[in-house]
A and B are shown apart, each in its own frame.
Chain A
């Protein structure tokens, strides 16, 4: 992936030298033309296009902000509610992610989702222990973690 970015910058500088006009706008035009060349030659790269991965990162960021706002509305409702009738629980969640940075990212995503905080990561980093503030819909929470966050992180990391 970093090879493709470097190649793209190389093509941009090449364009700048070809047109012997050393300005930022030339560099940007060269970068866009280089991007077109790289997309056209994508079948010669072993890994997938880096533009694809950048798009996955943008999608993950949007998900992150959406979940942050939803989480805060949930906490607001819970705090304002006159009767405290929640059922907190600690539960174990088995993850399929392997890299350390992926697990860190998943933990911060879970901490910012409605009603869940990661308390402990097991030594073999295969399972996360999550404190959930209201365990009435625990299966739904697990499903939402599995199918939205893990999928989005895997989308970023697959080669």
Chain B
């Protein structure tokens, strides 16, 4: 029984670590802010969630201590992760960060220009 629990815990923590390493490599390799947002908002969320689940299972199955605060942490990460990615990319687009030169189509540019004209922002 303990072996099974240990396998589960190690699995979750290793998967979380792999995803966090992927996030770090992605932040180095990808060409512009918007593609880096993909790496940061997805892999980081799932990576930290997996590590938290591993910690929760360790304390629950090995040390017999049920800690609901960790589960709440998982839930909050789940809700706030994508919102963070959205806000970062939106505010940098409005502030004028240029997308990578390989970007093939841009429907957003006229919309933002129209919005800025309406509100009188340069």
Contact = CB atoms under 8 A, between A and B. Distances in A.
Contacts of B41: 111, 117
A122 B118 CA distance: 13
Nearest to A108: B82
Contacts of A120: 90, 93, 108, 111-112
Given A75-B43, A76-B19, A108-B82, A135 B104 contact: yes
B102 A87 contact: yes
A112 interface: yes
Interface residues of A, number: 32
Decide if the interface of chain B is mainly helix, strand, loop or mixed: helix
Nearest to B89: A119
Contact of A88 (B25, B26, B100, B111): B100
B103 interface: yes
Interface string B56-97: 000000000000000000000001011101100110010000
Nearest to A104: B83
A130 to B, nearest CB: 9
Contacts of A78: 26, 38
A79 B115 contact: no
Contact of A79 (B34, B39, B99, B105): B39
Interface of B: 18-19, 22, 25-26, 29-32, 34-35, 37-39, 41-43, 45-46, 79, 81-83, 85-86, 89-90, 93, 99-100, 102-109, 111-112, 115
Interface of A: 68-69, 71-72, 75-76, 78-80, 84, 86-92, 107-108, 111-112, 115, 117-120, 122-123, 129, 131, 133, 135
5 contacts: A79-B26, A89-B103, A111-B41, A117-B34, A117-B38
